[in-house]
Amino acid sequence: MRGDGGLGALEERLAHAFADRSLLVAALTHASARFRGRGETYERLEFLGDRVLGLVIADMLVARFGEASEGELARRLARLVSGEACAEAGRAMGLEHHIRAAGTTLKDGGRAAAGILADACEAVIGAAYRDGGLEAARAIVERYWREALESMQGPLRDAKTELQEWAHRRNLETPRYQEVGRSGPDHAPEFVVEVVIAGAEGAQAKGRSKREAEQEAAETVLRREGVWKE
């Protein structure tokens, strides 16, 4: 491995050479890797990157889907900035080879590891914004989100709406959503939401916002009941 810890290769994949590489180092540093609680981690940059990502994706969607309604654009945006989408982009960037985290934090291969990868991905976008402005961050988002955005053909279905229609067709009460758990720091919480349907089995799901968790819970029921098959 090169003396820069391989960051030069990462910069090549990002197509951005950092003038202040300490920003990139911070974006790749999990809180568990701090020494005695000291040192910069990716949390603040993740906070910034989340907002930058949302802005750039929203702009891309408006330009790409000129006839889409506000609700349709919102559903596409939610899908593209979800934790799953950010983790996938992080894997495409190869961030798992550069993130600094203690012990087996990244090695469990589960939700925690995917969450760290998603957070670091947003932090890298935030770091690029701090280092080179909006256009530098935009270039990274374009590079790693364009294909996913372009492949979103046709209107996206809204899981909560479809679940409500499914329940009404069966003379069931309107599904209710309730928060049953919350974890993580204030700037990046993870919510657990349960959908309750009187007369039918509900479901629980997690998300980085209540809205995302509600959609995931509704989708879980729709797939379990065979309404959504793909």
Q: Is the pTM of this model over 0.75?
A: no
CA-CA distance, 55 to 36, in Å (whole number)?
Answer: 36
Average pLDDT rounded to a whole number, residues 29-58: 87
**pLDDT of 155 higher than 70:** no
CA-CA distance, 173 to 166, in Å (whole number)?
Answer: 10
Give the torsion sign (CA, 22, 23, 24, 27): positive
Q: Give the pair of three-digit tokens for residue 59.
A: 């702009």
**pLDDT of 222 higher than 80:** yes
**pLDDT of 158 higher than 90:** no
pLDDT of res. 1: 32
* 50 has catalytic annotation: yes
Residue-averaged pLDDT of the chain: 88
CA-CA distance, 49 to 128, in Å (whole number)?
Answer: 9
How do residues 50-108 score in pLDDT, each as one tens digit?
Answer: 999 999 999 999 999 888 888 788 888 988 998 889 999 999 999 999 998 876 556 55
CB neighbourhood size of 200 (10 A): 16
Per the CB < 8 A criterion, the answer to whether 55 and 126 are in contact is no
pLDDT of res. 190: 87
| Catalytic, out of 46, 122, 131, 214 | 122
How do residues 109-152 score in pLDDT, each as one tens digit?
Answer: 555 688 899 999 999 999 999 999 999 999 999 999 999 999 87
**What are the backbone dihedrals phi and psi of residue 92, each rounded to the nearest 5 degrees, phi first?**
-65, -35
Give the torsion sign (CA, 215, 217, 221, 226): positive
How do residues 160-217 score in pLDDT, each as one tens digit?
Answer: 988 999 999 999 999 999 999 998 887 778 899 999 999 999 999 998 888 889 988 9
Lowest mean pLDDT among 37-46, 154-163, 191-200: 154-163
* 122 has catalytic annotation: yes
pLDDT of res. 106: 62
What are the chain's domains?
7-150 (1.10.1520.10), 159-224 (3.30.160.20)
Among the listed residues 57, 9, 23, the one whose alpha carbon sits nearest the alpha carbon of residue 129: 23
